[in-house]
């Protein structure tokens, strides 16, 4: 009635996840650098409304992570049956 159980190996971390994490780190570092520069010179973002500053700064790491994760290729999984790839 039931087929033999499918055994799966421990999958490697996909390249997409690695690149998205790297992009998030780089974006966060860049956002921190901007925040430190702004702390020293508020005229760099003084022309933005406060609500726009709060929305824009977190978008930098999010955007970088999304682009790098989208552009990276999937990690192949030859250990899975063809129907599950």
Q: pTM of the predicted model, to two decimals?
A: 0.54
Question: Model confidence over 5-41: pLDDT tens digits?
Answer: 666 667 677 788 888 888 888 888 888 887 787 777 7
Where do the domains of the chain lie?
A: 15-73
28 vs 33: CA distance, rounded Å? 9
């Amino acid at each position: 009635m039931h087929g033999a159980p499918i055994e799966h190996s421990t999958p490697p971390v996909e390249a997409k996840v690695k690149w998205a994490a790297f992009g998030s780190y780089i974006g966060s570092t860049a956002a921190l650098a901007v925040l430190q520069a702004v702390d020293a010179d508020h005229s760099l973002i003084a022309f933005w409304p406060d609500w726009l500053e709060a929305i824009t700064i977190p978008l930098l790491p999010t955007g970088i992570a999304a682009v790098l994760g989208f552009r990276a290729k999937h990690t192949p999984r030859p250990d899975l049956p063809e129907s599950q790839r």
